[in-house]
Chain A
Amino acid sequence: MRIPHPGTFAGGLALPEDKSATRHSPVRPLGPLAQLRVPLELCGPDRAEPTVAPGDRVEAGQVIARAGELPVRSPATGIVRALGRGLLVGGAGGLVETPTVDLAEPMGPEGPVVVAKPCVWQDLEPEALLERIAAGGLVRFGRPVEPLHVWLARARRRRVDTLILNGMENQPALTASHRLLVEHGPAVLEGLGILGQLLGTRRRLLAVDRRHIDDYRHLDAAARAHRVQPLAVLDKYPAGHDILLTRLLTRREVPPGHEPLDVGAACVSPEACLALHRWLTAGESTLGRVVTLGGPSVHWPGNYLVPFGAQAGDVLASVGAREGERLCHGSPMAGLVVGPAVLVGPMTSALLALAEPAVEPPTACIRCAWCTDHCPVRLDVANLNDLFEMGQLDRAGRYGVQACLGCGVCSFVCPARLPLTHRMAQMRRALNAPTVPAAALPADARALDEVTR
């Protein structure tokens, strides 16, 4: 693999990697689950209308609902028990509510579910290709969560000149994307080639963690075939975030509140490329995703193919996690602590069962400046925390809090144990949604005072 040096950025952390438990375990299907609660609105509120009723029998791959124009397919064969509502981790990093179709006694499909005829993507015009992708109900596995064809249409309007396949996965304990690249690398790269042809981009980059380049050497031939340039990017902690990767590989900075598309770079995940490739070349639909299941108490940690709609608690119980443990959705740094009823969706890169923490109460900020020093987007986190405690939201906006990536570095280094990342996210959300009353903000600060008293 050729290694041009893509440079570095200010801030960030050298984190312990913590991937040895699952890095070499191949992707396996998950064992049988007692029930599935298939979420119908994977991409936010979309007026989903179920086309099945309670008591119906559905087959794997059968269309059970339409969300907007997007068909929702059943990930398993079973009987519809009820139409309910469930919670899913959305693209903004919080929980979103979605209608569900609850399946009793689901039977997972034995192999890939072919629901359409394969096509030769090289022969299709871009418009026809886009229509074909829209018919597949593909979603983008990444932020923001949206239908792949919607994202692609936006990317075409922005005249994207750099296409980045983000195979970094430099979050601790996450190995799902790594396994996809190792096991299905050529297919993933062909998916990238399809996107490159569709967007008309010559510059196609595969960014991987420089610690693991030995695992990706077998991708060389496929990379040459699809004119993809592999790059070994530094392993400092949030370097795998789309916005920082764009900065590293294109020298373009994404303005706060915008996405890489706005500066002419498109970042895609291996999951999306693989799903696209399978849909176009084999007509297979995507009914689940690869999830890293791990944690100290999990008996059989590994990378599992989990159907959409499985409940987090059930999934972890089926690999031997103890009851009542803390569930972490996503990575331990930037993930979300959730309850056992959260559903597996496109954002579920990992489910980790962690022991209950030794709670250290937060103390007053001593202004050590480590948060400001380590912030990868150079936010003055120490002063933003002051503004949070004083409830001065508009000044926080002027300080640029919308640029926060939510990477968790500031909370990680904070010696006063303040929930800084959480506070920055609260301010960012409050600024993006002006309906949230600013007076509701410092509740967290008041709770802090009660703890330290």
Chain B
Amino acid sequence: MTQVTSAARAAAQALPRAGWPPAPLLRAPETSGTIFRVTTLAALAPLGAGLLFFGYRAAILALLSVVGCVGIEGLYFRITRAPALADRRHAVLTGVLLALTLPPHAAWYVPLVGAAFAILIGKAIFGGVGHFLWQPALVGRLAIAGLFALPVLNPAQPSDWPLLAPPRIFTGDVTDCRPTTLYQGWDQTPLPAGGEGFLLPRPVQTLRGLTHGDWPVYGSVLEVFGDLPPIRDLLLGATPGGLGETSALIILLAGLYLVYRHYVPAVLVMAMVTAAAFTVAIAPIQLLGPTGTVRLEWLPITLEPLEHGFAYVSYHLCSGELLLAAFFLAPEMTSRPVTPRGQLVFGLGCGVLAMLLRLYGPFPLSGYLAVLVMNTFTPVLERLTRPRVLGRPPLWQRMLGGPRYLRR
């Protein structure tokens, strides 16, 4: 009996005290909070560019979006006590990402409604961080697109979006912009009388003219460049568009920082941008023939001298929501696949789909829609692209009757 108790005491002393975590005792310094915080800071860079070109309203909309997300998530947590929703930093990140996608002339309640959809439909009903299927900010953006018609600033051309003129940057009001006929690039155009900026078609809308029948049909790709702002404006962000969508250069820099931190898989971004480039280089466009008939031309990159073809592809890459989606929205950790090959397929799918929807789809938010569609396939992609475990024979060997290298 004494031997048993002494053995039990020895066993108890040999075990570690309760509450100590198991090995490994070393831990990398980065936590989930770090990831959310750094991604939010990186996302603030395109928002800063938006502040410059769309004025103080950008800041108000972003603030409302963030406050909406945090508030609604806090409220939901108070009611349900769902543990995965306790982290406020992901709500902030969702709010900032939602703000990046908003039109700059939206009404004040639009970001609040978007935040409600993003948090409740996009995140909470799935169980919070780590469980949702679709990128929550995009769910909010899609709800906004379905619920609200944009305020019509220019009744003659309802699809025109505002952009502040150079003397009014940061301080102007984007709802007070006027149409202009003298547009010669952002800093060469005189300020319309009585307005704060210009009303212009978005570059992506002009490019859609090459493939959509309801637009005046162009005779050649070169003709389209006359209706587009110079590529320098697209790189800087001095074009109409969403709050954080326009500045290609800033998105690129902030996104590359995230790639460097390994928060964004490089393979996904590269696959998405490359697939988009190849798609627009190949996908057919409509051109007006010499006899007045509309003809369909494949491989638009080769229709004219190659520099024009490459310019056409670059305009497509730098305009619209493609880069924002590639660097900030598609790589959202929870809604993209975890396997490297899955990320490759996911990126390729996003790029091809984004461009096909932009060229031939009726819906204007093509990049966001493509990401949401591919998000839906994430669990399937993960299952199909699971890496081969070390020591397991590849599939073709298993089908031929198993490995031959075991020694019996």
Contacts and interface: CB of A to CB of B under 8 A. Distances in A.
A354 B339 CA distance: 35
B32 A415 contact: yes
B13 to A, nearest CB: 4
A339 B23 contact: no
Given A363-B32, A366-B129, A380-B339, A334 B25 contact: no
Contacts of B131: 364
A44 interface: no
B13 A370 contact: no
A364 B21 contact: no
Interface stretch (B55-63, B82-90, B246-254, B359-367): B82-90
A356 to B, nearest CB: 8
A300 B125 CA distance: 57
Interface string A414-441: 1111010110000000000000000000
B7 to A, nearest CB: 4
B156 interface: no
A408 B27 CA distance: 10
A383 B382 contact: yes
B21 A378 contact: no
Interface residues on A, range: 35 or more
A411 B14 contact: no
B28 interface: yes
Contacts of B406: 255, 258, 262-263
Interface in B118-141: 128-131
Nearest to A83: B3
B193 interface: no
B224 to A, nearest CB: 40
B23 A421 contact: yes
Interface in A312-370: 326-328, 330, 332-342, 354, 356-357, 359-360, 363-370
B130 A377 contact: no
A67 B7 CA distance: 20
Residue in A159, A256, A370 with the greatest tally of chain B CB atoms within 10 Å: A370
B403 interface: yes
A87 B333 contact: no
A213 interface: no
A412 B28 contact: yes
B314 interface: no
Contacts of B339: 369, 372, 380
Interface stretch (A23-31, A58-66, A112-120, A246-254): A246-254
Q: Can you list the 7 inter-chain pairs with the closest CB atoms, starting with the nearest?
A: A408-B24, A341-B13, A400-B389, A87-B14, A369-B338, A377-B390, A378-B387
Given A365-B130, A380-B386, 11 more contacts: A84-B3, A87-B11, A253-B390, A258-B391, A264-B407, A328-B25, A337-B23, A338-B14, A339-B14, A377-B389, A415-B31
29 contacts: A85-B7, A95-B14, A253-B391, A253-B392, A258-B406, A332-B26, A333-B23, A335-B23, A336-B22, A337-B23, A338-B15, A339-B17, A341-B10, A357-B25, A363-B32, A364-B83, A364-B128, A364-B129, A366-B129, A366-B130, A372-B387, A376-B390, A377-B389, A383-B338, A412-B28, A415-B28, A415-B34, A422-B22, A452-B83
